[in-house]
Chains A and B, each alone.
Chain A
Amino acid sequence: MDGGADRTARRRARAVAETLARRLGGGCVLTDPEALRPYECDGLSAYRALPAAVVLPRSREEVREVVRACAEAGVPLVPRGAGTSLSGGAVPHPEGIVLSLARMNRVLEVDVRNRVARVEPGVRNLAVTEAAAPYGLYYAPDPSSQVTCTIGGNVAENAGGVHCLKYGLTVHNVVGVEMVTVEGEFVRLGGVAPDAPGYDLLALLIGSEGMLGVVTEATVRLLPRPVCARVLLAAFDDIPTAGEAVSRIIAAGIIPGGLEMMDGPAIRAAEDFVHAGYPVDAAAILLCELDGTPEEVEEDIGRVRAILEDCGAREVRLARDERERALFWSGRKNAFPAVGRISPDYYCMDGTIPRRALARVLEGIARLSEAYGLAVVNVFHAGDGNLHPLILYDANRPGELERTEELGLRILELCVEAGGTITGEHGVGLEKLPAMCVQFTREEIAQFHAVKEAFDPGRILNPDKAIPTLARCAELGGMHVRGGRLPFPDLERF
């Protein structure tokens, strides 16, 4: 990407960086290629670009200055939290500036009476819970990356985690945001008082991938920590039965704090890595966590156990204590790195499907995996139908990355066909631009562009991410699957 950068445009960005270095102090602006290197990609390392500069402001006013300077000069600006995005959302623009919020990492206030915390955008997700812990409170959304990822990034991606079936995604747990508009003005969306007047711009901002404004502060809801949480592990001989168990639990009116599934290859990779005591010959395991008061949990454990056994689970274990509970979860939480040990590279997909389609879609994935000759491992949020197929590949083999990406797109098509979506939590970024053409019509994509235009007419905020150009969709043949109707349904798709 570097080579293609327009020289004049890059020079313009450099000039803005120099101005900012004078105003904010040299330590806030990086332009040395070596210093820029760590910013050239995010969690999806397949996409890279060196920015013209990186700016690291320390305050909201400095953020505003950066936005104003870039807007005036028409220089692309890419906000960045911890860079853990898995869809290339924080990949720099080669003719632009990266705005890192990493130095704005203070928890400004824990308001116990209103059960909210006000935090700067660069605060790590887990740090919010740590700040709230002394008051018996916590921040519910817990992406697996919570040790590292920032609240600003969570807002931009509408991040979720194991808890979100019961406690919701970022959009359900952030009550207010202060952002800088592209005009360089601070606006407050939402707030501690419910239902801010006018349009729900907060809902619109959340998940907008840094394209509508730069978040300078967030007010997040804190919940009382459940007094009791216990986890059940159930092993199954086949995946459809495990899927059936998921549906039956929910149909019984139980909303678990977490309901996660791993398939056979995932179980074995995780077991080799963390020795959680998983049954390695099972075709699938379900982890079902129940939380609440001890009385509630006791009641629900009985009901869930009965359902699991009735469904034909070949083994159901209840973690005896906190230590064993952590152990059961450690395999799931470390599943990604565990898979990293069995394959040189892996590509993490992120689609959501209606739960009832679970078995059908997993079968489809298995067929595709065979056809492409690439192994796929499944670890996912079963409770909300959010799949994370991990495609194993070797980047050093010529053509393998391209085949992997193609397989990924096929998997997402399967998700859309089943009535689902191309991304449940990782966002579109750069990676899923082609898949957007699968899920949305021309008119819908044009409507997204009009919304972007309303916030950022000069298109300087994280440009060219998340919403593909219509030309791009046309190039891809405008593939459009909806309501299960594929174009040319009887043709082989691989």
Chain B
Amino acid sequence: MTRLRPALLGLALALAPAAALAQSAPAPLIALSCAGCHGPAGAGEGSVPRIAGYDREAFVQSWAAFRANERPASIMNRIARGFTDAEVAELAAYFAALR
């Protein structure tokens, strides 16, 4: 039992950052408005897709496609045009890190 402890402790430490991020670390302010449609912490709601855990690179590419009207959209094309590349990168990093 005692010999297992270091291994368990290591596991706990490895899990802690992701768990903490998902539950309590303040999200960047820029990401908080997304909750209005995509649900708290980007969990998705009804017909609006989940964006928590969205691959970072794919997020950036999707955003660019929305912005260029190259991806079918109802409202995201209008939203995408209002954000800078740096802001999109911040959003992508945050949602990719959510579980």
Asked whether A and B interact, the reply is no
